[in-house]
Amino acid sequence: MTAPHATQRIWLTGATSGIGRALAERLLAQGHRVALSARRPEALAELAGNQDNALLLPLDVTDRQAVLAAGRRLEARFGGLDLVILNAGTCEYLDARDFDSALVERVFAPNVFGALYGVEAALPLLRRARAEGGRPLLAATSSASAYLALPRAEAYGASKAALSYFLESLRLDLAGEGIDVSLIHPGFVKTPLTDRNDFPMPMRVSAERAAETILAGLAAHRLDIHFPRRFTLLLKLLGSLSPGLRFRLGRRLTRDHDAAPREVRS
């Protein structure tokens, strides 16, 4: 994006809830041509209303063929894409006492593979925008949990860490083509997903504030858009500690932290 309000061709997934909805409302209000994707067509229709700059693309991001078909429809309607925001995702917490690999698969399906299918569908359209003289941007919503291993976050945190690593690596390979990649690492944001959490969420921000911060970062093509910064910088710092220190810190956050831990060496 060359300027915050320059008209762009945008594809946004996970558009009907939380951060995605707040982003969609702002982008449509700014006059961008926005393709909106989510699973429920009726929720997309309610979000778009009568705005003629909205293109509804209902899909399940875990269905690779559906995502690729959405890419073909986008090509037919928009030609190219100036900005892609892969925001769809989910969260479930793992109970190690009742380990469930199916839960891990459910979380990885949209958070990792859904994003990868989106990249596969979007890259030809981002390249089209680059050929037209633009500086296209691929962005995805990861999580501040990617910075530091946390209790019960084996599935969610690992999926977001995998997404962050993949896109940081892809960023290196796309730089020579003139396609930028931004990663979004939110802390706690008030959304229907976080409303289900049963633990304290320090420094939680509204979805509207999150959207404002994200759009400012995207306009500047920032590599890492993380917020609220006091919280995310702390997680980055803690993530840089030795394994032993990270373990002792993490043990204090677990619900059975009074149980005697086994010896751990740094």
What positions carry a catalytic annotation?
Answer: 156
Distance of CA 150 to the CA centre of its chain: 18
185: its two tokens: 């690492």
- Residue 242 to residue 249: CA distance in whole angstroms: 11
Among candidates 248, 252, 249, which has minimal Cα distance to 262? 248
Q: Which residues contact 87 (CB under 8 A, 6 or more apart)?
A: 12, 13, 14, 15, 19, 20, 23, 140, 141, 184
Strands in the chain per DSSP E: 9-13, 33-37, 54-56, 83-86, 137-141, 180-186, 189-190, 205-206, 224-227
Token pair for 41? 């067509």
Torsion of CA 125, 127, 132, 135, to 10 degrees: 110
Q: Which residues contact 173 (CB under 8 A, 6 or more apart)?
A: none
CA distance 227 to 210: 8
* Distance, CA of 243 to CA of 168 (rounded, Å): 23
Alpha carbon distances (Å) from 201 to 81, 86, 97, 139, 205: 35, 24, 24, 25, 10
What six digits make up the tokens of 251? 């043990």
